[in-house]
Structure 1
Amino acid sequence: MSEPWTWHGGGIEAAKRAFGGDDWIDLSTGINPQPWPGAGGIAFDWRCLPEPEHLSRLERVAADYFGVDPRHVCAVPGSEIGLRLVGTLIDGDTAHIAPGYRTHGEVISGSAETRWGDAPGAAGNLILANPNNPDGRVLAPDGLLEWLERRAGWLIVDEAFADTDPALSVAAAVADHRKLIVFRSFGKFFGLAGLRLGFVLAPQTIVATLRARLGAWPLSEAAIAIGAVAYADASWIEATRRRLPGDAAALDAMLARHGYRAAGACPLFRLIETDNGRALFERLARHAILTRPFADQPRWLRLGLPADAAALARLDAALGDG
């Protein structure tokens, strides 16, 4: 199977070449299909280099949203880049939880896979996602902080999908005396993944080193301007947090009618298990619906939320055709 579909979500153009069709529905990424609506109305000047003051303001607004001191916040051009940069600053024995985000295994050289049940006793550094991707498992913050207290290494928590439920976040625990680093992603909850905006929440020594490596203009003026306004839009954020669980429940009910049990506690995506995940992936692709298969878990298929009733109906019909 083509690598773009099994390594991460996306790859619509590759799907068009492989299966044909133009009117595709992308359910492969777990990105909010109803994005923050204000991006088109934000004014900024493409002719000017981004102002440091504007970047600082974005980080202050984001810090307030995350519930952390701004001194511990560093904006990055996407949380993936942030993960890889932080990986160059940390050494020692490292474990990453599997199944999980595949980039986690590449963050620190020599990182070894571990399972959720073995994670509390894993020596050295530990990398995980909460909520986890792709299975949507969640761990209470108190449990994560207990893991942090009993280890000598760093606890690195990828909270790319945590915006749907802020009670899941350990961001407020970031401090100079703790070996805790948290990553946040703008694009998933706000539905604007093309903006490439993320944040590293870490002790000030890590933040300072990151800033030095990122240089003078780490973000575009567009990312700075849009991010600052979106993070301050409390009414849209609250309404979206109320809406997403209902949308996920509608997807769950439709999947159940076709005999699939949806797994996961993150409302932005669901994981199903079937006899042949690849065959189901290809059947949906022939209906111009892109989902996320897994080379190492051939029974799995992950589906993001359909954007509206029409998209849900198309998925319903495609699942019934076969």
Structure 2
Amino acid sequence: MTGLQPVHGGNLLQAVARFGGTPEQWLDLSAALNPQPYPAPATDLALWYTLPQPDAALHASACAYYGAANMLPVAGSQAAIQALPRLRAPGSVAVAHPSYAEHGWRWARAGHQVSHHPHAGLAAQAGQVDVLILCNPDNPSGQRWPQQAVLAMAAAQAARGGWLVVDEAFADVTPALSVTAHAATQPGLVVLRSPGKFFGLAGLRLGFVAAAGDILQALDDELGPWTIPAPVARIATAALADRTWQAAAQQQLAAGHARLTALLQAHGLPADGCMLFAGGAYAHADALQQHLAQHHIWCRLFTDPQPRFRLGLPASEAHWQRLAAALAGFVPDTL
């Protein structure tokens, strides 16, 4: 039993169909991306006309940026999330709940027995299941696992021949939590990274996997050739190597998150998360989403195991003012 396919943020067209307007009239805060994305450079048109080849510059930039000995580029970390369950015989899998729902859903769909656990109880599953999965920082809760705690879970999983899959899609803003640098030498540790969030380049559909060589080879074989278009590789190589832009982005996101946290708290709303989003468990989350949608502002709604909302960062002062005005008019008891 795999349940319903997970719903995701960034589904603005559904909001438009439900609440009216045009996409240009909406402020989409549902996807938790850097609202000031990396300025993608122009690429040579000739790159579109030939099959892409393995790109040594992309590999070197990724390894240097993420601190990894070896990485496999994939067509978005979602490609790895879907392929990894096919690399193991059906077994026991433990995931946190709430968390990024694709993990549990994809492993269950591949025939594994998936159990869901509160974040506080997830570490107790280490060494007890074939595959343990966590997001660090977690999406949408913002739960953070210290690096040493994650490495302890990895060691426990390795002792039984299992895997620890760590989704670090949001870890760029909390690099001290990352275990990417340990993936090549820690058996069974699989780390997923994504430039889509921090760099705001979700449209590239690019991700990276760090793990021991045998796992990376099996995943590469499963995914097949030509997974990364050459123009995507060129843009990502530039972004991953641009330390000046990265430092400025860290400061910009920290300031934006502080402002969003203060705005939510001023209206009595929860503000859990990381530097790319804020929100939390809230009994009136559905009413809040509908109220914001009436102002053509789209936020992410979660309903399992309890109502929860998530807001990304506005991109401009005008957007900030628009969000503030909409929140000021929210009175849940009247909805």
TM-score range, shorter chain: over 0.9
> What does residue range 151-162 of structure 1 map to in structure 2 within 5 Å?
151=157, 152=160, 153-162=162-171
Asked if 1:269 is matched to 2:268, the reply is: no
Give the structure 2 partner of residue 299 of structure 1: 307
* Paired residues of 1:24 and 1:290 also in contact (CA < 8 A): yes
* Paired residues of 1:244 and 1:268 also in contact (CA < 8 A): yes
Give the structure 1 partner of residue 333 of structure 2: none
Counterpart pick for 2:78 among 53, 77, 80: 80
Question: Once the two structures are superposed, what CA deviation does each residue of 1:27-83 show, in whole Å capped at 9, x if it has no partner?
Answer: 11111111001x14333521122122xx2321221011111113xx11000101111
Q: Which amino acid aligns with 1:77?
A: A
Question: Once the two structures are superposed, what CA deviation does each residue of 1:221-268 show, in whole Å capped at 9, x if it has no partner?
Answer: 22111111110011101111122111111111111221213112x100
* Paired residues of 1:277 and 1:298 also in contact (CA < 8 A): no
Counterpart pick for 2:113 among 110, 120, 139: 110
Asked if 1:163 is matched to 2:172, the reply is: yes
* Paired residues of 2:98 and 2:304 also in contact (CA < 8 A): no
> What does residue range 121-270 of structure 1 map to in structure 2 within 5 Å?
121-122=124-125, 123-124=128-129, 125-151=131-157, 152=160, 153-264=162-273, 266-270=274-278
Distance 2:181 2:59 in 1: 15
TM-score normalised by the chain length of structure 2: 0.89
Q: Secondary structure at the match of 2:94?
A: strand
* Paired residues of 2:96 and 2:134 also in contact (CA < 8 A): yes
* Paired residues of 2:119 and 2:143 also in contact (CA < 8 A): no
Distance 1:297 1:44 in 2: 48
Q: Secondary structure at the match of 2:190?
A: strand
Q: Which amino acid aligns with 2:152?
A: E
In structure 2, the CA distance between the partners of 1:273 and 1:113, relative to structure 1 (3 Å rule), is closer
Q: Secondary structure at the match of 1:83?
A: helix
Task: In structure 1, list runs of 5 or more residues that go unmatched.
Answer: none
Distance 2:238 2:100 in 1: 29
Distance 1:273 1:216 in 2: 42
Counterpart pick for 1:25 among 24, 27, 37: 27
**TM superposition shift of 1:318:** 0.8
* Paired residues of 1:34 and 1:191 also in contact (CA < 8 A): yes
Q: Which amino acid aligns with 1:56?
A: A
* Paired residues of 1:74 and 1:199 also in contact (CA < 8 A): yes
**TM superposition shift of 1:121:** 2.1
Query: Which segment is superposed worse, 57-66 or 269-278?
Result: 269-278
**TM superposition shift of 1:204:** 0.4
Distance 2:219 2:307 in 1: 40
Distance 1:258 1:214 in 2: 47
Aligned length: 313
Q: Secondary structure at the match of 1:150?
A: helix
TM-score normalised by the chain length of structure 1: 0.93
Q: Which amino acid aligns with 1:17?
A: A
Distance 2:62 2:265 in 1: 38
Give the structure 2 partner of residue 281 of structure 1: 289
Question: Once the two structures are superposed, what CA deviation does each residue of 1:149-180 show, in whole Å capped at 9, x if it has no partner?
Answer: 22322110000000112111001111255210
> What does residue range 44-123 of structure 1 map to in structure 2 within 5 Å?
44-45=45-46, 46-52=48-54, 55-70=55-70, 73-91=71-89, 92-108=91-107, 109-122=112-125, 123=128
Query: Which segment is superposed worse, 282-291 or 272-281?
Result: 272-281
Aligned-residue sequence identity (percent) comes to 40
Q: Secondary structure at the match of 2:120?
A: coil
Distance 1:292 1:245 in 2: 21
Distance 2:104 2:193 in 1: 18
Task: In structure 2, list runs of 5 or more residues that go unmatched.
Answer: 331-335
In structure 2, the CA distance between the partners of 1:287 and 1:115, relative to structure 1 (3 Å rule), is same
